[in-house]
Structure 1
């Protein structure tokens, strides 16, 4: 089936139910067990189409997803299923998702997307931290009057510090024996 964004997903649930009214279960539907199974599949398909599998750029912040909102999704499934099967004299006792995954044909692509989003998020934190550290270093140098930096030297220092702090590889020191000026 497809989630809210149209991504093919695999989803299954465990449904616990019981016959509440035996006469209604026998006379109002032909086969109440088959009826419950059909309604459970329909409710699960409908529920899956209401939620996105996972968070993404196109979702509003805090929007419930199938993966992150398991309790809310389970409650919604139980409620919808109860509405669907009450006509057969049956009641839903519990409903929980037991399996949720991207369909095999897109699983690798979606995994790469999730990894890319994680890398971007980590890089944003690294850059934010590095900028804060550079800002603190410049402020500390200026307050203590350790060195007076003009615009060009300040820019060179900022550039060097950001490279060192943001790089995911070991940096090599370069000793400048000359000057930045001619």
Structure 2
């Protein structure tokens, strides 16, 4: 029987098995192929831009390429804020302009009254006006009264005073009109709605807030927040109440960051404050608040666990005290026996040495317990 040798291609598998598919991944520069292209009937589909699927890997480490999805798990989404809602200076005039406009309106009203002949003689004499019979109050006089009155109202009604550490947020017909940070006597549009904002550095001591330590034990924490308003437009118009928003940011941060227990080390307490500051500052920046520090100033156990934790703390302190006392007794016994032996004051065998050590240990322990 003659046999024939068949040559198989590289893509074919052993006998009795289906052909092995060709490798698709050739190197690190491979790309993603959209799934819908695998089922198209169009013989000449339009080109689709491909994007790399491999982010990269460190050479020589054996690390597998890492794929980056559309949203990384470790990235926090910032709150959406209207990009047009950014603080900008408002258009204002010096207060002297409003004073002059108000004075001009008053002078116009007086001149119109003299023109109409309704100005009292005493006022005419005080103003050194010549005698005039008057033409009466007609349409021209009423128009002059309206113009002078409007000028006076606009001039005097727009006067305001700017103070250091305070700012005016102006709104005109429901739209943001700018922020006034200037000081002194100013004139602003009297039709605008004014909202005063405190932009000074402020300290806020919170009420008692719930928190937890690393083991989930319930705590009650009081924090001190140092902050100020950086963007008056977002702080006033981005949220209903920026102070309440800051308080809620602190509550959320306390729920995410484990707080060190009252008997914790200073280094852990400082680390807790830094973590709280980072979280609150990131959340509050979206509404124009600048947070400098969030530090716990009082940490205590919650009432439901305070008694249990106090007993546990006393037990730990007692165990530590006993351990220190036992170490001190052992060191004292060892030093005493060593000195007696080295100076030749005693010559002890093993049994006598053990007895001496036992008696000295009891004596030192009793003496330490009764020591003041």
Give TM-score, length-normalised by structure 2.
Answer: 0.40
Q: Is the 8 A contact 1:12 1:44 kept in 2?
A: no
Matched residues in 1 for 2:345 and 2:265: separation?
Answer: 56
CA distance in 1, matches of 2:268, 2:260: 10
How far apart are the structure 1 equivalents of 2:359 and 2:327? 16
Instruction: Report the CA distance shift for 1:27/1:42 in structure 2 as closer, same or farther (over 3 A).
Output: same
Which of 122, 133, 152 is matched with 2:351 structurally?
Answer: 152
Mapping 1:11-160, distance limit 5 Å: 11-47=221-257, 50-53=258-261, 65=264, 69-160=268-359
1:125-146 CA distance string (max 9 Å, x none): 2111211111112211211111
**Contact 1:53–1:67 (8 Å) recurs in 2:** no
Closer, same or farther in 2 for the Cα pair 1:138/1:66, shift >3 Å?
closer
| Secondary structure of 2:215 counterpart | coil
Q: Is the 8 A contact 1:54 1:67 kept in 2?
A: no
How do 1:157-168 residues align onto structure 2 when only pairs under 5 Å count? Answer: 157-167=356-366
What is the number of residues matched between the two proteins? 160
Helix, strand or coil for the counterpart of 2:212? coil
Q: Could you say which residue in structure 1 is the equivalent of 2:7? A: none
Of residues 192, 202, 219 in structure 2, which corresponds to 1:9? 219
Of the structure 1 ranges 114-123 and 26-35, higher mean CA displacement relative to structure 2 is found in 26-35
Task: Give the distance between the partners of 1:123 and 1:66, measured in 2 at CA.
Answer: 22
Q: Which runs of 5+ in 2 are unaligned?
A: 1-210
Q: Answer yes or no: is the 8 Å Cα contact 1:2–1:8 preserved in 2.
A: yes
Judged with a 3 Å threshold, the aligned counterparts in structure 2 of structure 1 residues 136 and 125 are, in CA distance, closer, same or farther, namely same
- CA distance in structure 2 between the aligned counterparts of 1:68 and 1:112, rounded to whole angstroms: 25
SS at match of 1:148: coil
Cα distance in 1 for residues equivalent to 2:358 and 2:265: 43
Contact 2:262-2:300 within 8 A present in 1 as well: no
Aligned with 1:85: secondary structure? helix
1:51/1:66 contact within 8 Å kept: no
Q: TM-score, normalised by structure 1?
A: 0.77
Pairwise CA distance, 1:33:
2.2
1:107 Cα shift? Answer: 1.3
Q: Decide which structure has the larger Cα Rg and report it.
A: 2
- Cα shift readout 1:74-110 (whole Å, capped 9, x = no counterpart): 2222222101110001111332213210111221221
